């Protein structure tokens, strides 16, 4: 299917403008943009948020930008005039806001949801962590879950970043696999001599971690390192230093900086690759979260062994050996961090594990080929695909569209 004059168009509606140097979500969007550019789509990125100093200059990569408004009928004319072949919603909140408008004013467009991670799963785990409760159905089957699952059903296809979350949606929520596509972080194949091109064991020193300070899992992880993990490591390595990188450093985060303890809040890293390549070990003792962890993926690419938790490694290794260690108790976490930090042979083995994981599980060409095939099939068989998705059709029915009517009420109120 092609739009007028044979041009295929992609409209991405973003929750925020992409910040690939600040968030894994920003990197993820750029990977999707790269895919659709390879497929010769003309791409427009629309967003109602304000741009920040970290926002990428999309025009430099050939992507048009469009500022849009929330709860405003001007979007209807915009999307109808653009008449995109595919509309990509950046997270379910965006589908809730604009999905019904796309459905009504551009009904032929294929609707794809990029979940980034399962927000309701991350929220449930956060709640369980704070309340010191096991994760059970009462925490999972929430209004947030109903909203996000409904959004998945309303779309023709949802991109799921984690293999764990793919199985979770199919087994726990019984979502048909035809509505889901596994699309993790991606990388070009790393060369066989990759390790020889990276800084060596002796050329690296210190520990590091990185992540947006406003992201709750990251912030809790930093606190956990500061209060629990780092004192144990310093007992074993009295001169150890850790560098904490990340965007949007808060005042309370700055207060954690302590040179005497070797705990350094470095703030925003303009080039995260340099930060990874300088360090010998990446620490990521995540206590809750969802999706894939960008810092751990980047650590593998840049040859930096990582020590993380089961939550951190979730969906990232399958049957392969981790590029470091996975530990859930403070003592074992610290012991493994120091052991790998001090042992050149083990460190090199862990580095090789990471490169093996990237090449075997996150091969860009393989996933791009599969994604190209599924989008072509859906574009050609969209009507039948939607006919088979009865629950999605039911959720599009006017009696179920509370978000639409609430939005229209706000529109009238604003007038």
Give the predicted TM-score (pTM) of the model. Answer: 0.92
For the domain spanning 194-361, the CATH number is 3.40.50.2000
Helix H, strand E, coil C: the string for the chain is: CCCHHHCCEEEEEECCCCCCCCCHHHHHHHHHHHHHHHCCCEEEEEECCCCCCCCCCHHHHCCEEEECCCCCCHHHHHHHHHCCCEEEEECHHHHHHHHHHHHHHCCCCEEEEECCCCHHHHHHHHHHHHHCCCCCHHHHCCHHHHHHHHHHHHCCEEEECCHHHHHHHHHHCCCCHHHEEECCCCECCCCCCHHHHCCCCCCCCCEEEECCCCCHHHHHHHHHHHHHHHHHHHHHCCCCCEEEECCCCCHHHHCCCEHHHCEEEEECCCCHHHHHHHCCEEEECCCCCCCCCHHHHHHHHCCCCEEECHHHHCCCCCCCCCCEEECCCHHHHHHHHHHHHHCHHHHHHHHHHHHHHHHHHCEHHHHHHHHHHHHHHHHHCHHHHHHHCHHHHHHHCHHHCHHHHHHHHHHHHHC
314: CB partners within 8 A, 6+ apart: 162, 164
Least confident of 68-72, 299-303, 391-395, 406-410: 406-410
Confidence of residue 22 (pLDDT cuts 50, 70, 90): confident
Dist. CA 162–CA 184, nearest whole Å: 6
Could you check whether 4-186+363-414 and 194-361 share the same CATH topology? yes
pLDDT, mean over the chain: 94
What is the residue whose two structure tokens read 């230093």? 241
Q: Once rounded to an integer, what is the mean pLDDT over residues 115-136?
A: 95
CATH class of 4-186+363-414: alpha beta
Q: Once rounded to an integer, what is the mean pLDDT over residues 196-223?
A: 96
What are the boundaries of each domain within the chain?
4-186+363-414, 194-361
pLDDT greater than 50 at residue 1: no
* pLDDT for the residue 401: 65
* pLDDT for the residue 25: 87
Q: For 361-380, what is each residue's pLDDT tens digit?
A: 999 999 999 999 999 999 99
What is the residue whose two structure tokens read 């750029």? 30
């Amino acid at each position: 299917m092609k739009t007028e004059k044979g041009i295929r168009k992609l409209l991405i509606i973003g929750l925020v403008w992409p910040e690939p140097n600040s968030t894994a979500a920003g990197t993820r969007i750029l990977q999707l943009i790269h895919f659709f550019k390879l497929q010769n789509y003309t791409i427009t990125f629309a967003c109602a948020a304000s741009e920040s100093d970290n926002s990428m200059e999309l025009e430099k990569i050939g992507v048009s930008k469009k500022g849009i408004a929330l709860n405003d009928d001007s979007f209807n004319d915009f999307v109808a005039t653009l008449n995109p072949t595919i509309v990509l919603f950046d997270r379910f909140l965006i589908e809730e806001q604009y999905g019904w408008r796309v459905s009504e004013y551009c009904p032929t467009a294929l609707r794809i949801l990029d979940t980034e991670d399962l927000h309701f799963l991350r929220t449930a785990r956060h709640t369980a962590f704070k309340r010191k409760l096991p994760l059970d159905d009462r925490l999972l089957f929430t209004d947030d879950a109903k909203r996000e699952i409904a959004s998945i059903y309303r779309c023709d296809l949802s991109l799921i970043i984690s293999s764990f979350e793919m199985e979770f949606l199919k087994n726990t929520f019984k979502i048909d696999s035809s509505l889901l596509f596994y699309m993790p972080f991606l990388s070009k194949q790393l060369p066989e001599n990759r390790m020889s091109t990276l800084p060596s064991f002796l050329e690296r020193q210190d520990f590091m971690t990185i992540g947006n300070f406003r992201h709750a899992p990251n912030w809790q992880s930093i606190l956990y390192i500061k209060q629990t993990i780092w004192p144990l490591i310093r007992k074993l390595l009295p001169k150890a230093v850790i560098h904490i990188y990340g965007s949007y450093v808060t005042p309370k985060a700055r207060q954690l900086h302590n040179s005497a303890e070797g705990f350094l809040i470095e703030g925003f890293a303009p080039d995260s690759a340099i930060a990874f390549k300088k360090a010998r070990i990446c620490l990521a003792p995540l206590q809750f979260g969802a999706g894939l962890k960008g810092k751990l993926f980047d650590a593998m690419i840049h040859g930096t062994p990582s020590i993380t938790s089961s939550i951190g490694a979730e969906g990232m290794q399958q049957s392969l050996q981790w590029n470091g260690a996975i530990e859930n108790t403070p003592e074992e976490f610290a012991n493994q961090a120091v052991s790998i930090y001090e042992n050149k042979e083990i460190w090199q083995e862990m580095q090789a594990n990471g490169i093996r994981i990237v090449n075997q599980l996150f091969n860009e060409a393989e996933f791009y080929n599969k994604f190209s095939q599924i989008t072509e099939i859906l574009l050609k068989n969209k009507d039948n695909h939607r006919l088979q998705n009865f629950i999605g059709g039911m959720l599009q029915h006017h009696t179920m569209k509370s978000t639409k009517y609430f939005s229209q009420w706000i529109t009238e109120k604003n007038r």
